Amino acid sequence: MKFTRTRTAVLGVCAAAGAAVAAATPAQAEPLPPVPHLDVERYLGTWHQLAAVPQPFNLECARDTLATYTAVDETNVGVANRCTTWTGTENAIEGNARVVDPVTNAALHVSFPSVPFQDGPDGPPNYVVTHVAEDYSWALVGDPARFSGFVLSREPAVDDAGWSEIRRVAESRGYNTCLILTSPTTGGRDDVRPLCTL
């Protein structure tokens, strides 16, 4: 029963936050800016999702959401996302990220086979790296309209100072940090709460 109530509560929070994104994101807001230059080679590898704006495709994920990026060629990066579901099984999907802004390398079109409206390798940017730490230890990415947002980290946990920095950067990029929810990770936070409360 506790498991069911916890899952229901989390899903309720996620659904409410997701529904509020459209209302809370000003239509006249400037598009999410990319970093001036992304070193794709340094960006490759595995990232832990520490927080995110809830998305329908993430509702099955209870914890330990990971994204692994691998080089394909000069303009394409392989994407492998996986997480642990509410029933303890692994959920995984593989796709492609194509660089659509060769000036910064920080705006990409991510696609996944058989996913409606996202199954073609070409298209407008839907993945913008708007911040990456100097040491590439964490990054903030989202779509140009900020309907999505993901806090990615090389490690599954950050300290209080790290969370304060993440919140400050997200706010500076025009995000409502009350709509970004923490993602449980083994070794890190075990709760789901708005970034604005950290």
Number of domains within the chain:
1
What is the reported pLDDT for 78? Answer: 98
CB 138 within 8 A of CB 158: yes
What does each of the 198 residues of the chain score in pLDDT, given as a tens digit?
Answer: 333 444 444 444 444 444 444 444 444 489 999 999 999 999 999 999 999 999 998 899 999 999 999 999 999 999 999 999 999 999 999 999 999 999 999 999 999 998 887 888 999 999 999 999 999 999 999 999 999 999 999 999 999 999 999 999 999 999 999 999 999 999 999 999 999 999
CATH label of the domain that carries residue 98? 2.40.128.20
Domain that holds residue 73: 2-197
Strand partners, 49: 152
**Residue partners of 97: CB distance under 8 A and separation at least 6:** 69, 76, 77, 78, 79, 108, 109, 110, 111, 127
> What is the reported pTM?
0.87
Identity of the amino acid at 175: Y
Dist. CA 151–CA 116, nearest whole Å:
24
Q: Two tokens at 132?
A: 């990456």
